[in-house]
Amino acid sequence: MLKRLGLLTLASVTLASCDGTSMRAVTVVGSSTVLPFTKAVATAFVEQDEGRRTPVVESTGTGGGMVRFCEGVGGKYPDIVNASRRMHAKEFDTCQANGVKDIIEVPIGLDGIAMAESNDGPKLTLTRKDVYLALAANPMGKPNTAKTWKDVNPALPATPITVLGPPSTSGTREAFVELILEPGCIAANPAAKELKTNPDPALFSAACRTLRTDGAYVEKGEDDNLIVEGLAGNRQAVGVVGYSYLEKNRSRLHGAPIDGVTPTYQDIANGKYPGVRSLYLYVKKKHLDAMPELQDFLKLYATMWAPNGPLTERGLIPAPDKVRRRAAEAIANGYVVERADLP
């Protein structure tokens, strides 16, 4: 549940005057998937008024960004974290322990987790079950020995299983596991569903969430562009990327259908594609109260995420009208997220 807080407080005045927060540029860390959208807003922000300081936007991955965001409040800490998943309750707790008390959650739009191939690749048509059987460390409780896609499904080609993807600190990796691997696990072994409610979460994790480490899944870093380049160098490989990176590289990549649905703008927007996720900004309210430029930056962001707006041209899929309205209200009124609402 969200609660409304007052606007400028004595604490925020003290913050601004004592540590120089209001005297520096807006600082953003986090997701490589959200990075292109935030950079586009940063560019437009300065073009709108050349007297503004250029926002500093860093790609650290969602997990790494959350760590830095939650380290504290004040001029040496980020104002915003880009996130390709929701903040976890345990991350919220870390923020609270370090004095980051009031956090505004801003959903900016939708994205899809795509299994991308080179346009000269094998043209795979996959199910989530196929992906699970190919990439899980212990599918069906046994070590994974599959070498080719044909080993997991006779209808697939005898192409070596090589999947290029993000590391464990990435929100894209986490969304891939949650949206693709876990349902594939349950499709392959319905009994695994009972493990999800087992008091020991390690059992479900071992069965359904743990990826191979024998070379079938290759971690390529937090930057999705590294995966795109990797696919150019290995045309038999598959890459796990956000939809916006697929869209930006249509001249050389395509998305493999999953469960009969191709990752397209329309089927992500209508929820038919199985790998749909929301993208977020998390903002320190204390910084927002102290920094007029941060307020203006977020107001501009809210205009650019609209349907047919500049961010949709870069691959962002607009959130439903109700979600966009609530996000804009959260920015304008300082509504903060409650721990009970977080996973």
Q: Give 183's contacts (C-beta < 8 A, 6+ positions apart).
A: 128, 274
Q: Which of 276, 307, 324 is the last residue of a domain?
A: 276
Does the structure show a pLDDT above 50 at 312?
Answer: yes
250 within some domain: yes
For residues 32 and 102, state if they share a domain.
yes
Which amino acid, one-letter code, is at 321? D
Residue-level pLDDT at 7: 39
- Give exposure, 218-232, as e/b (b: 16+ Cβ within 10 Å): ebbbbbbbbbbebbe
For residues 153 and 270, state if they share a domain.
yes
3 within some domain: no
What is the percent of the chain where pLDDT is above 70? 94
2 within some domain: no
Does the structure show a pLDDT above 50 at 3?
Answer: no
Q: Which of 276, 296, 325 is the last residue of a domain?
A: 276
Distance, in Å, from the CA atom of 139 to the CA atom of 188, rounded to the nearest integer, reads 8
For residues 164 and 151, state if they share a domain.
yes
Residue-level pLDDT at 5: 39
Rounded to two decimals, the pTM is 0.85
Q: Which element (helix H / strand E) includes 218?
A: strand 217-219
Strands 163-165 and 27-30: unpaired
Short-list 33, 23, 24, CA closest to 81: 33
For residues 31 and 90, state if they share a domain.
yes
Residue-level pLDDT at 21: 62
For residues 159 and 262, state if they share a domain.
yes
Does the structure show a pLDDT above 90 at 306?
Answer: yes
27 within some domain: yes
For residues 69 and 86, state if they share a domain.
yes
Distance, in Å, from the CA atom of 226 to the CA atom of 239, rounded to the nearest integer, reads 10
For residues 49 and 195, state if they share a domain.
no
Domain count, the chain: 2
For residues 272 and 287, state if they share a domain.
no
Q: Which of 219, 241, 276 is the last residue of a domain?
A: 276
Does the structure show a pLDDT above 60 at 236?
Answer: yes
Query: Given phi > 0 = left and psi -120 to 50 = alpha, else beta, which region is 71?
Result: alpha
Kindly give the interhelix angle for 35-48 and 292-304, rounded to the nearest 10 degrees. 110
Rounding to the nearest 10 degrees, give the CA dihedral for residues 219, 220, 223, 224: -90
Quick check: 155 and 223 in contact, CB under 8 A?
A: no
For residues 268 and 147, state if they share a domain.
yes
Q: What is the CATH number of the domain that holds 265?
A: 3.40.190.10
Query: Which DSSP symbol is given to 3?
Result: B
Short-list 78, 72, 69, 104, CA closest to 24: 78
Quick check: 227 and 240 in contact, CB under 8 A?
A: yes
Residue-level pLDDT at 196: 84
1 within some domain: no
150 within some domain: yes
Distance, in Å, from the CA atom of 125 to the CA atom of 261, rounded to the nearest integer, reads 9
Residue in the block written with tokens 């903040």: 87
Domain range holding 29?
10-110+279-341
Residue-level pLDDT at 37: 97
Render pLDDT for 67-123 as a digit per residue (tens, 0 to 9).
999 999 999 999 999 999 999 999 999 999 999 999 999 999 999 999 999 999 999
Quick check: 328 and 104 in contact, CB under 8 A?
A: no
For residues 320 and 259, state if they share a domain.
no
156 within some domain: yes
Distance, in Å, from the CA atom of 221 to the CA atom of 169, rounded to the nearest integer, reads 9
- Provide mean pLDDT across the span 193-210: 89
Residue-level pLDDT at 201: 87
* 284 DSSP β-pair partners: 103
For residues 35 and 140, state if they share a domain.
no
Short-list 193, 188, 213, 216, CA closest to 203: 193
Quick check: 264 and 22 in contact, CB under 8 A?
A: no
Distance, in Å, from the CA atom of 259 to the CA atom of 272, rounded to the nearest integer, reads 10
Name the band, by pLDDT with cuts 50, 70 and 90, for residue 19. low
Q: C-alpha angle with apex 342: 332 to 267, nearest 5 degrees?
A: 80
For residues 79 and 186, state if they share a domain.
no
73 within some domain: yes
